[in-house]
């Protein structure tokens, strides 16, 4: 008969870690999305002028996220910033999201046909009206699936913050495994929690896309 030392207190500890994972994901996606929209629009509309920005963002896309966490956590101590590990994680993840969201937004803006923009201008729309009423709505629909995939990716990448001392879902799971020595059970539960969170996000994204299609 199956017998386990896993208790309800352990489950609560894992759920607390899952809440930290959700908070990190939400905060970093807000930071990265807002900055990514600005940078993505700049990259699409002013490609030559924003080449230095592209080089900078390439750094955050190219360097492994774990290295970014460790380096930034060490740098804040050297510089003397009195930031918590949670704040460091939010900043690093926010920059990471910004780098990818910039390209998602840029590709969405560039997907709008130039002929359509010319037609809107010929109908009397100003440059900013064209961007707000024509380009952004169409670009949002194109970019949205990529943004949802980025959201799912970031939620899983939050597991790396355990290297700077934050107890999120995976770190909580490892703590329990160390104590009760039942890795298969604990990691299956952790995987199930990740799956449920991902499923909710994916379903909400799919429902929003369906509503957009119905309104066409």
| pLDDT tens sequence across 133-166 | 888 988 998 999 999 999 999 999 999 999 888 9
H-helix or E-strand spanning residue 143? helix 136-157
Contact assessment for residue 168 and residue 20, using Cβ atoms and an 8 Å cutoff: yes
Contact assessment for residue 68 and residue 160, using Cβ atoms and an 8 Å cutoff: no
Number of H helices, E strands in the chain: 9, 0
pTM: 0.92
| Banded model confidence at residue 2, pLDDT cuts 50, 70, 90 | low
Domains by residue range for the chain, with CATH: 9-214 (1.10.3720.10)
CA quadruple 28, 160, 172, 75: dihedral positive or negative?
negative
pLDDT tens digits, one per residue of 104-132: 999 999 998 888 888 887 888 887 888 88
Tokens 């949205």 appear where?
A: 144
């Amino acid at each position: 008969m199956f017998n386990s030392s896993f208790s309800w207190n352990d489950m609560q500890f894992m759920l607390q870690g899952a809440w930290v994972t959700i908070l990190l994901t939400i905060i970093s996606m807000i930071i990265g999305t807002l900055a990514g929209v600005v940078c993505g629009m700049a990259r699409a509309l002013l490609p030559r002028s924003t080449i230095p920005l592209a080089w900078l963002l390439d750094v955050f896309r190219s360097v492994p996220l774990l290295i970014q966490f460790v380096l930034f956590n060490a740098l804040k101590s050297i510089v003397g910033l009195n930031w918590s590990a949670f704040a460091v994680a939010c900043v690093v993840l926010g920059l990471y999201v910004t780098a990818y969201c910039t390209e998602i937004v840029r590709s969405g803006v560039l997907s709008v046909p130039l002929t359509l923009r010319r037609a809107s201008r010929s109908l009397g729309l100003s440059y900013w009206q064209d961007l707000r009423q024509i380009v952004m709505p169409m670009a949002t629909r194109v970019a949205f699936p990529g943004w949802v995939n980025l959201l799912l990716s970031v939620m899983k990448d939050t597991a790396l913050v355990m290297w700077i001392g934050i107890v999120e879902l995976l770190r909580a799971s490892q703590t329990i495994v160390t104590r009760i020595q039942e890795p298969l059970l604990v990691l299956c539960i952790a995987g199930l929690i990740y799956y449920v969170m991902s499923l909710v996000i994916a379903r909400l994204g799919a429902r929003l896309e369906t509503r957009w299609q119905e309104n066409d």
